Amino acid sequence: MLLQKGQKLLFIGDSITDCERARPAGEGLFGALGRGYVSIVDALLQAVYPELGIRVVNTGISGNTVVNLEARWQEDVLDRKPDWLSIMIGTNDVWRQYDTPFVKEWHVYKPEYEATLRKLVAATKPVLSGGLVLMTPFYIESNENDAMRRTMDEYGAIVRQVAEDSGTLFVDTQAAFDEVLKELYAATLAWDRVHPTQAGHMLLARAFLNKIGFQWNR
């Protein structure tokens, strides 16, 4: 596995990462990491790799876009000095274009999304002793011609390109959901097609852990 003994792993993103985590930082006891994929990753790392003592921190904030991440990057990422960083952002950047189409200042269009994400990656990757993982935003909708699904795929393609250009690890969360959507109706995994059930969060955790070389049968 890529994580090394005593390293700090920080997750940042929107509500899908937040999941009612503690403030100011999601870390510690009594559900401090929230109830989503971050807490599942932490639990599995503790259960399967207890000797590594990986420190997991959650700084996701509900409603955030990549612009919001940039505004709090120094305090919520750089000042916490993680060894590993996982970024999953873009859902609200896209969603606001569809659920509040007339409030243009809430929208983050592709050029700004890409430029901001590239800026954050460029500023952070050199100071990480471990590595950086870029996870795509997703929309739990099997119809690829759905308007919001189509746009979300375009933002996911941006994440893929940024990961390739910067040499960072890449997790295609949409592909992970699409595989299960061959068998299950979208509402089974997310009633609003955005906020996953526990099964959906398990899919996210599994996709992340697979990318960092987690050995499930260890």
What pLDDT, in 10s, does the model give residues 155-206? Answer: 999 999 999 999 999 999 999 999 999 999 999 999 999 999 999 999 999 9
Any idea what DSSP says for residue 13? E
- For residue 218, the model assigns a pLDDT of 86
Active site residue 15: yes
Residue 150 CB coordination number (10 Å):
14
Catalytic residue among 14, 15, 42, 201: 15
The residues near 46 (Cβ < 8 Å, ≥ 6 apart) are 54
Parse the chain into domains and list their residue ranges: 8-211
Report the alpha-carbon distance of residue 195 to residue 211 in Å, rounded: 22
Active site residue 18: no
What pLDDT, in 10s, does the model give residues 130-158? Answer: 999 999 999 999 999 999 999 999 999 99
**pLDDT of 90 above 90:** yes
Catalytic residue among 99, 129, 165, 192: 192
For 8-211, CATH number out of 3.40.50.1110, 3.40.350.10, 3.40.50.1970, 3.40.50.970 equals: 3.40.50.1110
Catalytic residue among 76, 107, 195, 201: 195
Whether the model clears a pTM of 0.85, i.e. scores above it, the answer is yes
Active site residue 192: yes
The amino acid present at 143, given as its one-letter code, is N
**Nearest residue to 117 via CA among 164, 62, 176, 175:** 164
**Nearest residue to 33 via CA among 25, 21, 41:** 21
Report the alpha-carbon distance of residue 21 to residue 159 in Å, rounded: 25
In terms of Cβ atoms closer than 10 Å to its own Cβ (0-12, 13-18, 19+), residue 30 is exposed
Task: Note every long-range contact of 199-203, with CB atoms under 8 Å and residues 24 or more positions apart, other chains counting.
Answer: 200/140, 201/19, 201/35, 201/36, 201/37, 201/40, 202/37, 202/40, 203/173, 203/176, 203/177
